[in-house]
Structures are given as structure tokens and as C-alpha cells.
Amino acid sequence: MSFRPANTSYRKKDNTETIRNVVIGVLIVVLYLWGFGLLGWLFRPVSAILMPITGGDNFIARGLTNFGASWQNTKNLVEETRQLKKENLTLKLNLIQAQSLVKENAELKKVLGRVDQTSVPVIAQVIFTPNLIFNDSLVLDVGDKNVSRAIKVGDFVVYNNVLLGQIAEVFPTKSKVKLLSAYSELSVAIGGKNIPATAKGLSNGSFSISLPKDVEIKKGDSITVPGWRNYFVGQADVITKKTSDPFQTILFRSPVNIVQLKWLEIYAGQN
Amino acid sequence: MLVRISVLTLLIFSVVSLPWFFTFALFFLFGFYFKNYYEMIAPAFIFDILYSLPADEWWHPFFLVTICTALFLLLVGEVRKRIFIYH
């Protein structure tokens, strides 16, 4: 007489899910440890395939901005236009004065024997920007093979004399820019007295600086990067002081709207 | 099958053209909606290839979004087993 215990299952145990989880776990570890070295070269083919989708134009981000603007009250718009026209005239006059000062500065440097090596910039078009930046990076359409002066890692990326970032990776026909707000520490100088400070990038073009409370900083003080040819990066915007805190926090952001950028200038870096 | 492929195409388009928070919201939504939607790792991989930069911090690997998406899908698989609406 054979004895068969109750509730015996003769089906093989399904290990598919376990195998899949193990494979994914191994993939995660490999990507974490060696991902960039093994697969970083894929940028060229992927960007070449996907470029026709955007055509180098942030049409969706621009559309969203324009749509938002159309909801504004007409009266506010008229007042804002009047104010902007006034500001525009003041800025034009300041620009003329600044241009003559720059020219005079360059001539004086030449006389003193300091030759300006910044040279003519390379103009680049922004082809990819993760709309409303996530990684604080941009992709440009110039590399080390498709321009007269080869782009190098460390070159400065500038827009209207405002420093935006540095070239972080170079490919034959494209390059990636690391924006300044991706830096966790950036040595800056504030105001006319060039007060040294360390700015912390908060992503999306925003920065914060922490200084002792007794250091006098005014709203509108210009902030430059002395280590990088004194490029302008922003103006002090919000200054917060608390009675219980010996430090003051200064917030500022880049005056350039990254989302609306199309063309940038690349100057040779200090490499 | 066709729906999954269409959604995958939409995700790739959103990686390239739409705001990042919109893309991540779609990842979250479709990760829960479809069963074992591991195809979603492809658009996350494309996101990292296009926009990621090598960084020194240990918490910011180059393929951060890909790794987070893979972990998210593993987690969703376990959560789905325990939520009654998926039974």
C-alpha cells in the first residue's frame, strides 16, 4: 500500500521572478560602479538619433512661458511695459559706458604687457536642455572636431558676459556643460570691496552664500568669480539675517534664463 | 502590447522634450499601471546618457535615474502583490 501525504505539490518552484530580481540587482551594481566607463560613449549615437525630435528648440518650454504670460492682467502689463522701457534706456546708457571702459581696460593691459588671451569665442547652439533643469547640464552642438578652435574640458561658457558654466565633457561634435549651480562650492567675490565668499549651488541657476552677520552686503551687489577671469555671475538678491544666527544668508540667481537660451559663447579656459 | 510600446515612445519623447518633473510623474504613473514595466528602464537610461555628468559624490552616480527607476520597479512589483486593487 502506497502512502501519499496530503497537499503535496509536484510542480516545480517558479524561480523566474528571483532570477529577474537578481539580474536587475547585478545591473544596478555594475551601473553604479562602472557605468560611466562602460557606457559613457553611447552619448554620441543616442544624441544623434534623438536630435530630430527637438531640432534644437525648446518649443515646449517657450510655449508654456508664453501661455502663462497671456493670463496676466492687462493693466499690470501696461505698467510693467512702462517700467521696462525706462529700465531699458538706463541699461543702454550703462552699456555704452561699460563698453568704453572694457576697451580702455584692454588697451591698458596691452600697454602693461598683459596680452589678453581670451581670444574670439566659439559660438555654440544649445541642443539639449532637460527643461527646467534637473542635472544642471546643457548639451551644445560643438565639440573638438567640428570647430576652428577645438573645445576643451574647462572652457568657459558665457552668455552676454555672464558666466554660466564650464565644459565638462567633450565629444567630436558635441559637448556637455556643467552649470555653475551644480557646483557645491564656488569661490566668489561680492560687491565693490571684493568680499571673498563661498557660494553653494542650489541648482536651476540659484546660489546661496553664508557670511558673518557684520559683513555689510547690500541688495544688488555684483558677484563675480575671481579665479575665473572675474566673470560676472549674478547680483545679491535676498539677504536674510536672524537675531539668533551669527551668519547671514545671501541668495542670488543667474540673470540668464537657461530655458530660453539658444546661443552661447565658449571662451578658452585656464587649462 | 501595442499600448506598452506607445507609452514607451511617449516616455522617450518626454525625456527629450518635456520638463523633467513631468517625465518623472509619467514614470511613476506607468510604473504602477503596467505590470513588470521594465521597458521603462530604457527612457531612464536615455535621460542619464543625455543629461548626466560624472560627479565625485557617492550618492550621485552617472546613471542615477536608471538605478532609481530599476529600484522603483522592483519595489512596485512587491507593492502590487499586496494591494487589493491589483488582484
The pLDDT of residue B72 is 92
**132-151 in A: which are within 8 Å (CB) of B?**
132-137, 139
Which amino acid, one-letter code, is at A74? Answer: T
Within 13 Å, how many C-alpha atoms sit on residue A218's CB side?
A: 7
**Cβ A232 vs Cβ A222: under 8 Å:** yes
- ipTM for this model: 0.79
Which of A39, A60, A135 is opposite residue B51, by nearest beta carbon? Answer: A135
Map grid coordinates 568657459 to a residue. A156
Query: Mean pLDDT across the stretch B43-51?
Result: 88
Q: Which residue ranges make up each domain of chain B?
A: 2-86
- Locate the chain B residue with the closest alpha carbon to A58: B17
Could you tell me the pLDDT band of residue A1, with boundaries at 50, 70 and 90? Answer: low
Reported as a single tens digit per residue, the pLDDT across A29-77 is 888 888 888 888 888 888 888 777 765 555 665 666 666 666 666 778 8
Name the CATH architecture for the domain at A182-253.
Beta Barrel (2.40)
Reported as a single tens digit per residue, the pLDDT across A146-183 is 778 888 899 999 988 889 999 998 988 889 898 888 88
**38-77 in A: which are within 8 Å (CB) of B?**
39-40, 42-43, 46-47, 50, 53-54, 60-61, 64
> What distance in Å separates residue A57's CA from the closest CA in chain B?
9
